Amino acid sequence: MQNSIPDGFPSTNDQEKLLADALALVQHHAFYMHRALDNNNLQDALKFSAQMLGELRTSKLSPQKYYELYMKTFDELRMLEVFFKEETKRGCTNAYLYEEVQHAGNVLPRLYLLCTVGSVYIRSKEAPAKEVLKDLVEMCRGIQHPVRGLFLRSYLSQISKDKLTDAASEFEGEGGTVVDAVEFVLQNFTEMNKLWVRMQHQGPAKEKEKREKERSELRDLVGKNLHVLSQLEGVDLDMYRDIVLPRVLEQVVNCKDELAQYYLMDCIIQVFPDEYHLQTLDTLLGACSQLQPSVDVKTVMSQLMDRLSVYAASAPEVLAEFSQVEAFSKLSEAVIKVIEVQQDMPLVGAVCLHVALLTFTLRVHADRLDYVDQVLGACVKKLNGVGKVNDSKATKQIITLLSAPLEKYNNVVTVLNLTNYPKIMEHLDYGTNKIMAVVIIQSIMKNGTFIMEADKVEALFQLLKELVQDSDGSPTLDELDEEDFMEEQNLVARLVQMLTNEDNDEMFKILITAKKHFQKGGSKRLGYSLPPLVFSALKLVRRLQEQDKNNEVDKVTFSPQEQGSSTEADEANISPQKVFQFLLQTVDSLSAVPAPELALRLYLQCAEAANDCDLEPIAYEFFTQAFVTYEEEISDSKAQVTSIHLIVGTLQRMHVFGVENRDTLTHKATGYSAKLLKKPDQCRAVYVCSHLFWIEDEGGVQDGERVLLCLKRALRIANAAQQMASVTKGSGGPVTLFVEILNKYLYYFEHGNQHITNAVIQGLIELIVTEMQSENTTQDPTVDAFFASTLRYIRFQKQKGDGVAERYAAIEV
Amino acid sequence: MSTSRKGSMMKTPDIQRRKVLTIGSFKLGICHGHQVIPWGDLDSLDMLQRQLDVDILITGHTHQFKAYKHEGGVIINPGFGTGAYSSITYNVNPSFVLTDIDGLRLVVYVYELIGGEVKVDKIDFKKAQPVG
């Protein structure tokens, strides 16, 4: 025989052997029992079945192994039951059998036999079901050993299941009522739980875990009783509320066993209908707070809330019930109480509870923002005093908490109404806060949510604080990953498109609010955040401009209603001028970055917009700033060339300037053009400036002479470039500049500039030919092709109708 | 081949570059267009086309779709894919262009988003047979 550990079960290998031995013996006795059954020998049947059942008296098998043995004997007992039934047909009364089996020597076999006869007895209806069941459930007290007792009572439960005196059952009436059935099951349940709990205290303390595992394996035996109760037709809400639940909870609370409490609470929630839970919420939640401190009550309550959430979604009529029983306030109070009582509940547990409550609230009372805010508020209270959360699990739960309303409402504006939302965000550490901010912006972009009020914009920027500016505790910008930073800031930039309102005054307030926050962003962020703001403001200007235009039209027609609307426009607070002021300040801020090229472009954009609004002084101011930026901050030669082209290109389109202003700016532009570093760049910039003197729009200046002067200047520069090139590189440089200027001559010739004559053009053509043929000149196929296509163009023009040919007639190619 | 514009406000890139490609029997030139002043002016763009000696010139800057056909070739401005603000063009319609080159034939398909609907147009250009 193997050594068995005192008060515990032998090791696994031993278990296998013990089970095998026991099964063999059961088989052995059963064989003889069958023989007795075949011979209708009651006494022998009883004898051998008792011996067989004797194997169940073992204490050495673990619950799993015991179960196997039990199942084997269970099958055999079914044969015996059939035999008993037949015996009663042969004249033996149930009462007699009931007596006989009690002669078995040992109490356990005796009780199994008694239950088996009991089953037949009840079915025969010779005695009221309730009496037999009452007797059996009490007799089973004879077994106090936990495992043996549990299986015995389980057997009782199994054979009685279909014989309970439920409403409308065949056994009801004389046999008893549903009240008796409930009483029977409750009693069996109570006793089984006591046995189950007792297992915890058997054996040495160091084997606690092993015992708990073994207990776990048996839990369904106990839980089954609750299941049976839930299946009883006769148990309606009243009976559940008044009898069943209080009795069950009494046992659950009084047993003071962590494992049992957790399992049974969970069982109750899963097994009974949700409407019952709703109506007994007080009782259930009351029990929750009376459980052992070590019980994971937050999971129990979360399960309950989850089930109720699903129930709420099942049918709209159900929602009214929820309000009627004040489910929300009961649950939220219970949550607070539990957290208070369980002092050492970890933070993640408390947050989890709030997440479950929030999920419930969002499903059941989505329209009650005040409820949602209340839940968040309770969480804030819990977080107060914690500071920044650095537990990663708790942080994850907080993110879940914050994301839930975003996902539910798909509308950040709704979420902005939750006063406690930003307070929770403050408890997130820097990195997580940014993650949350990104989630918020992504929600806006995904749902196409427009933020239409300045105060909402303000609230939004509070939430996005960590993205938009530096704060204490945030890492320096050098430490941040470049790419991540860029992505984040681009996201913020995109956000600007969503801050908009058709009302001009509100729109302006939005712009000011956004700028206020962006200003705090520091030099690295301004380059991302200010450009979209500028364009947003320019769009506002355009809108104002178009509205003004419409109002002007109305003024002209003098129609009565529209007169009213034009006065409205006059009274509006916001004017293009005010927006331009804003724009000037905003673009100015870029000097802090510094970003002169960007600033220059933006100044020019603003100048064009001012031009479109006929605001000459403002347009002039923007040009001034553009020039100042060019002078003081743009020193890279390539950047200078681009900038000059942008300035000239913009200036060329301006119609708002009077003669003086125009002259000043033109003079500046040409001056800077001539001062570019490289000669070819100078040349090109200067000939491009010629367009400043030739505006084809209505009322535009067309000063042919100054155009020619410009082109001649460009020619001189080109010459100088030629000479320089020949000196430094040994041969003349490419002739392309001459060809370009020739093309410009042709342009003005076509457009009717009288100062550009045939002779002028002819002269340049010949010059080019000479240069190209000169030995000093480097051959360049692209220049050749350019000149060739220019000549081709001239020839083509000579063939054209509409008087064009005549003009070109004198030019020889 | 598809053409669309990348905004020049993004990080002030070097947009002075021009590129000339040969596809089939066509030579294409690509340039941003801000250097060609007046902006959007056909004759000035013409000059650039002659300078690069290309059949097709693709340019931008104005955010407005334009396609010109003349004896020398085709000038295409594909407009702007996102319809972003332009100081030059009011109410920019988002647009892009696909060009199909087949032998001596060039077809330009223009896709514009106007009033929420996508409108497609087509422009044909046949290159003259090279002499000799």
Where do the H-state alpha helices sit in A199-257?
208-231, 237-239, 245-254
More confident residue, A671 or B23: A671
Report the residue of A653, A739, A798 to disrupt the B interface, i.e. the one with the largest count of B CBs within 10 Å. Answer: A653
Q: Whole-model pTM?
A: 0.80
CA distances B19 to A476, B22, B27, Å, are 41, 10, 10
Chain A interface includes B88 (CB < 8 A): yes
Proportion of chain A above pLDDT 70, given as a percent:
95
Q: What is the pLDDT of residue A569?
A: 44
More confident residue, B42 or A474: B42
A564 band by pLDDT with thresholds 50, 70 and 90: very low
User: Min CA distance, A615 vs chain B (Å)?
Assistant: 15
Supply the pLDDT for residue B106: 84
**Residue A321 burial (C-beta neighbours within 10 Å; 0-12, 13-18, 19+):** middle
Question: Cβ atoms within 10 A of the Cβ of A78, count?
Answer: 12
Give the closest-approach CA distance of B3 to chain A in angstroms.
23
| The pairing of beta strand B65-70 with beta strand B73-78 | antiparallel
Residue B15 with chain A: CB contacts under 8 Å: 642
Average pLDDT of span A207-222:
91
pLDDT for A301: 92
Write the ipTM.
0.85
B18 inside 8 A of chain A by CB: no
**Dist. CA B91–CA A697, nearest whole Å:** 21
Q: Please give the structure tokens belonging to residue A668.
A: 């500046």
A529 in contact with B at a CB cutoff of 8 Å?
Answer: no
Identify from A485, A533, A646 which residue to disrupt to test chain B contact, counting B C-beta atoms within 10 A and taking the largest count: A646
All residues at 6 or more sequence positions from A106 whose CB lies less than 8 Å from its CB, including other chains? A50, A54, A57
Determine, for residues A743 and B53 on separate chains, whether the beta-carbon distance falls below 8 Å: no
pLDDT over threshold 50, residue A235: yes
User: What are the tens digits of pLDDT across the range A355-400?
Assistant: 999 999 998 899 999 999 999 999 999 898 788 888 889 999 999 9
Judge whether residue A341 has pLDDT over 90.
no
For the segment A96-114, the average pLDDT, to the nearest whole number, is 91
pLDDT of A254 over the 90 cut: yes
Confidence of residue B2 (pLDDT cuts 50, 70, 90): low
* Closest-CA distance of chain B to residue A280, Å: 56
Q: Which is more confidently placed, A603 or A175?
A: A603
Provide mean pLDDT across the span A529-549.
92
Quick check: A472 pLDDT over 80? Answer: no
CB nearest to A646's CB, from B34, B47, B71: B34
Does the CB of A456 have a partner CB in chain B at under 8 Å? Answer: no
Residues A645, B34: C-beta atoms closer than 8 Å: yes
Digit-coded pLDDT (tens) for A489-507: 999 999 999 999 999 999 9
Residue A775 has pLDDT above 60, yes or no: yes
Substitution target in A629, A645, A655 with the highest count of B β-carbons within 10 Å is A645
Hey, what domains does chain B have and what are their CATH numbers? 18-126 (3.60.21.10)
B103 falls in which pLDDT band (50, 70, 90)?
A: confident
Q: Average pLDDT for residues A97-121, to the nearest whole number?
A: 92
Pick from A531, A539, A691: CB nearest B38: A691
User: Is B14 near chain A, with CB under 8 Å?
Assistant: yes
pLDDT tens for each residue of A287-327: 998 888 888 888 899 899 989 988 988 887 888 888 888 99
Lowest mean pLDDT among A270-284, A493-507, A545-559, A794-808: A545-559
The Cα B76–Cα B66 span in angstroms is 6
Which chain B residues are within 8 Å of A701, Cβ to Cβ? none
Whether the per-residue pLDDT at A481 is higher than 50: the answer is yes
How confident is the model at residue A566, as a pLDDT? 44
pLDDT, residue A732, reads: 58
pLDDT at A783 (0 to 100) = 86
Residue with tokens 């993004």: B10
User: What does the pLDDT read at residue A568?
Assistant: 45
pLDDT confidence tier of residue A733, bands split at 50, 70 and 90: low
pLDDT in tens, A391-416: 889 999 999 999 999 999 999 999 99
* Residue A715 CB neighbours (<10 A): 21
Give the up-direction half-sphere exposure of residue A327: CA atoms within 13 A in the CB hemisphere: 30
Which residues in A191-319 belong to E strands, given as ranges?
none
Q: Which tens digit of pLDDT belongs to each residue from A440-460? A: 999 999 999 999 999 999 999
pLDDT for residue B132 is more than 60:
no
- Measure the CA–CA gap between B28 and B53, rounded to whole angstroms: 9
- Write out A40-70 in H/E/C secondary structure: CCHHHHHHHHHHHHHHHHCCCCCHHHHHHHH
Cβ pair A649:B9 closer than 8 A: no
Better-predicted residue by pLDDT, A724 or A242: A242
Determine the distance in angstroms separating the CA of B44 from the nearest CA of chain A, rounded to an integer: 7
Q: Give the percent of chain B with pLDDT over 70.
A: 83
Q: Is the pLDDT of residue A237 over 80?
A: yes
pLDDT-based confidence at residue B102 (cuts at 50, 70, 90): confident
Chain B CB contacts of A648 under 8 Å are 37
Residue A629 pLDDT class (50, 70, 90 cuts):
very high
Which pLDDT band holds residue A473 (cuts at 50, 70, 90)? low
Give pLDDT, residue A471: 77
For the ranges A7-21, A36-50, A141-155, A390-404, the lowest mean pLDDT is seen at: A7-21
Mean pLDDT, rounded, of chain A: 89
Q: What does the pLDDT read at residue A558?
A: 42
Q: Mind listing the pLDDT tens digit for each residue in A35-51?
A: 999 999 999 999 999 99
Mean pLDDT of A786-813: 81
The whole-angstrom distance between B126's CA and the closest CA on chain A is 18
User: Would the CB atoms of B51 and A539 count as touching at under 8 Å?
Assistant: no
Q: DSSP letter for A590, please.
A: G
Q: What is the pLDDT of residues A679-706, one digit of tens each?
A: 999 999 999 999 999 988 877 889 999 9
A-B C-beta contacts closer than 8 Å: 73
Partners of A784 on chain B (C-beta within 8 Å) are none
On the CB side of A176, CA atoms within 13 Å amount to 22
CB atoms within 10 A of CB A707: 25
pLDDT of residue A372: 95
Q: Is B88 in contact with A608 (Cβ distance < 8 A)?
A: yes
A567 confidence band (pLDDT: 50, 70, 90): very low
CA–CA dist A738, A774 (Å, integer): 14
Q: Does B16 touch chain A (CB under 8 A)?
A: yes
| Lookup result for tokens 């901010």 | A437
State residue A346's pLDDT score: 85
Q: In angstroms, rounded to a whole number, what is the distance separating the alpha carbons of residues A302 and A553?
A: 66
Q: Does A539 touch chain B (CB under 8 A)?
A: yes
**What are the residues facing B29 on neighbouring strands?**
B20, B57
